[in-house]
A and B are shown apart, each in its own frame.
Chain A
């Protein structure tokens, strides 16, 4: 009996020891980040780079652990991605890297990124419950990867959102001439169609170029996602981990756009940022694009037809708007010591803190990721009303799927979108697109790391 008790006690102790050891393998509680030097690869240039450098300097000067962050411009997102692939899981990789969710997922396929959950949730180093709640939910969740068992492979320092850009003066003109039946920007697809078709027939009086078109659509997977969200659909099902490009919402959205094209009220964008130029010249009434384009739209209008304009939610059939938010996050590549990983996290925590976020938002014109930052942007909102309008839509944001191979899926989907606008069957095309997207995803996940 006694012997049995000892065996049981021994087993419990052993089990406890193993569990503790496993927990400690992922734990950062007793790690000391002091004196670490951290490299940060990013894509920000010009004024954004200067603003980031200021934040880095402030961190280097103020952190009590004497951590030194070295921010390095490494080219575009694509350049960084290509530079990262050969150095994955090696000491040659940076300690922090800017990465879109699908890029981080690709790194994860090669065990090239650290799961940040233990850092974010650490009692000593992580975020408090109040801090976590301060993040916009859509932003905060975007870097958690269901395909990788809920691992967090990134953390958001900023975001952008797909919004509807509209020419207020032209809309007023159309209303005054009895061409449309509503005031302000369109809120429903029907109103959008009405205005787009009216504008095509009634050019803007102060346009600086000939011709008129209601809507210029840039062929892009994010546009498809945005319109699908607006029609109550989604392009991915987190529960099944599968694309849903053939969902009812997607079919309705693409049918709506195809009808606009058939009616001659919309056209595709033919040059890079050609929609911005046409919008500024008063040739296009509506465009849909990233909120990060706000300063560029402002320049286009100032240099063009000089009219009143603003942004709004994409016309939707849902009770509330559903906005497509996106943006690159920062990831912690693997191949470094736990001390270095912790130091990297402490910088990220600082970078995404309320003070740094306010500075970063104003300098970069990206959206901050914390709700509380709004309090510090009052003056900025007053001088940038379009930014404020877009900011108010942030609580309605959802994200595109963070899955590996999404770049390739995007290309395929963009092709299918182009085919639909050329008159191909919406249902059949989206069905094929969905099958292809899921094939690509399944192909990617075949090599999912086992650990």
Chain B
């Protein structure tokens, strides 16, 4: 009644509401300006640059040539991205199509989902092969290494962090000290940490990592200098025994050099993740555990059925941020890479840097950045689609 008593503004909106809106917008304006200038403008400018021939100086408009150069021919890219889209379709068919019941229609939908998933796999594989054959091989191989890096480090970081946090959440002496120790790697400057890792993982037999291996009678490894895929390093003898000299391709895994860098990623972020998990653990109501204990649940069961689901929002948050971070990772990889290892550790961000500063091809680097940005967006969308729903939101 009181609202109606005030004179109405434009389109019948009360003046007080207008004032509230205006105040709200004025409050967010500084952030919008800062994000606009330093966040959105560079993205827009990168897209703009990518459409021109730009080598130190802006050249002529070339449209999507840089994207074609990156992906190779249109067919391969269409097959690859179409395949990725089909994965989403398959997921929708499996979970959402025709409701959540158990009827015959749902079974058909799931069968269709399985077929679509198969088709998606074939399209992705064929499209990728064609892209690698015709596109910018360095960048595309960099993407593969980025995937290795992300999937090799984030799940392990999360799992280790969860275990660590659960242990630290117990009533143990010196808990604060342990928390600090685990958080320290995150605080250490990446360059300094990476430089220390270079020393630890030196190929010299007398250095730390190889000394530890020697205790177990394992021969010294070349670590950051090893270009062989990890499958060959681990099972080389066995493979040679069955007549396989060298393994290659995606399933041979990353090089040992990249695995060493993955160790660094795990070392850096596990403690950080553990601290975030600890905050999450503090928010779980104790009475849930008490009720479970009364019902006869042991500690493992409580962890499995209470802690893990209740922490799922934190896990989801850390996973999303973790993958975004690994796809953007640069500093420590740049510090740890060696000429002798060739391109075995060059993830997408490293390739983009080299395209910009060494190839002087600014527009191609911009196009590659836009592609990486798109991939990170798609990945986040996938995570949200596949895992977001299973997050416990209270």
Contacts and interface: CB of A to CB of B under 8 A. Distances in A.
Given A219-B340, A271-B202, A414-B339, A111 B358 contact: no
A31 to B, nearest CB: 27
A210 B204 CA distance: 12
B343 interface: yes
Given A414-B339, A415-B339, A407 B358 contact: yes
Contact of A411 (B56, B227, B358): B358
A110 interface: yes
Contact of B203 (A109, A270, A404): A270
A220 B204 contact: no
A411 B354 contact: yes
Contact of A109 (B55, B206, B338, B357): B55
B59 interface: yes
A442 interface: no
Contacts of A444: 55, 359-360
A110 B57 contact: yes
A134 B211 CA distance: 56
B198 interface: yes
A110 B343 contact: no
Interface in B201-215: 202-204, 206
B304 interface: no
A414 B342 CA distance: 8
Contacts of A109: 55-57, 360
A112 interface: yes
Interface in A54-90: 81-82, 85, 88
B47 interface: no
Contacts of B55: 109-110, 444, 446-447
A176 interface: no
Contacts of B57: 88, 109-111, 447
Contacts of B225: 268, 270
Contact of B358 (A107, A271, A408): A408
Contacts of B324: none
A428 interface: no
Given A109-B56, A444-B55, A418 B358 contact: no
A14 interface: no
Interface in A409-427: 411, 414-415, 417-419, 421-422
B199 A418 contact: no
A163 to B, nearest CB: 21
B359 A405 contact: yes
A107 B55 CA distance: 10
Contacts of B227: 422
Contacts, number: 68
B358 A405 contact: yes
A106 interface: yes
A213 to B, nearest CB: 11
A418 B342 contact: yes
B360 A106 contact: yes
A280 to B, nearest CB: 16
Contacts of A415: 339, 342-343
A189 to B, nearest CB: 22
B317 to A, nearest CB: 35
A270 B339 contact: no
Contacts of A120: none
Interface in B198-241: 198-199, 202-204, 206, 225, 227
Given A109-B55, A271-B198, A419 B342 contact: yes
B71 to A, nearest CB: 18
Interface in A431-448: 440, 443-444, 446-447
A271 B336 CA distance: 11
A411 B227 CA distance: 16
A449 to B, nearest CB: 8
A271 B360 contact: no
B354 A447 contact: no
Contact of B204 (A85, A270, A405, A407): A270
B197 to A, nearest CB: 12
Contacts of A418: 339-342
A85 B56 contact: yes
B339 A112 contact: no
A82 B338 CA distance: 22
A349 to B, nearest CB: 28
B16 to A, nearest CB: 49
Which of B53, B206, B357 is most buried by chain A, counting CB atoms within 10 A of its CB?
B357
B361 interface: yes
Given A271-B199, A405-B360, A88 B339 contact: no
Interface in B330-366: 338-343, 354, 357-361
Contacts of B338: 219
A210 to B, nearest CB: 8
Contacts of A419: 342
A382 to B, nearest CB: 38
Given A404-B360, A407-B358, A418-B341, A270 B202 contact: yes
B225 to A, nearest CB: 7
Contacts of A411: 339, 354, 358
B359 A440 contact: yes
B361 A268 contact: no
Nearest to A218: B339
A258 to B, nearest CB: 14
Contacts of A408: 354, 358-360
A107 B198 CA distance: 34
A419 B228 CA distance: 12
Contact of A443 (B203, B206, B357, B359): B359
Which of A270, A407, A419 is most buried by chain B, counting CB atoms within 10 A of its CB?
A270
A219 B339 contact: yes
Contacts of A407: 357-358
A48 B142 CA distance: 40
Contacts of B358: 405, 407-408, 411
Contacts of B342: 415, 418-419
B100 to A, nearest CB: 53
Contacts of A414: 339
A112 B340 contact: no
Contacts of B204: 270
Contacts of A110: 55-57
A443 B361 CA distance: 9
Interface string A31-53: 00000000000000000000000
Contacts of A446: 55
A268 B341 CA distance: 11
Contacts of A443: 359, 361
Nearest to B342: A415
Contacts of A270: 202-204, 225
Interface in B26-70: 53, 55-57, 59
Interface of B: 53, 55-57, 59, 198-199, 202-204, 206, 225, 227, 338-343, 354, 357-361
Given A109-B360, A405-B358, 5 more contacts: A270-B225, A271-B199, A405-B359, A415-B343, A447-B55
16 contacts: A109-B360, A110-B55, A219-B340, A268-B340, A271-B202, A404-B360, A407-B357, A408-B359, A411-B354, A411-B358, A415-B339, A415-B342, A417-B339, A418-B339, A419-B342, A421-B340
List of 7 A-B pairs having minimum Cβ-Cβ separation, nearest first: A110-B56, A408-B358, A415-B342, A414-B339, A219-B339, A418-B340, A110-B57
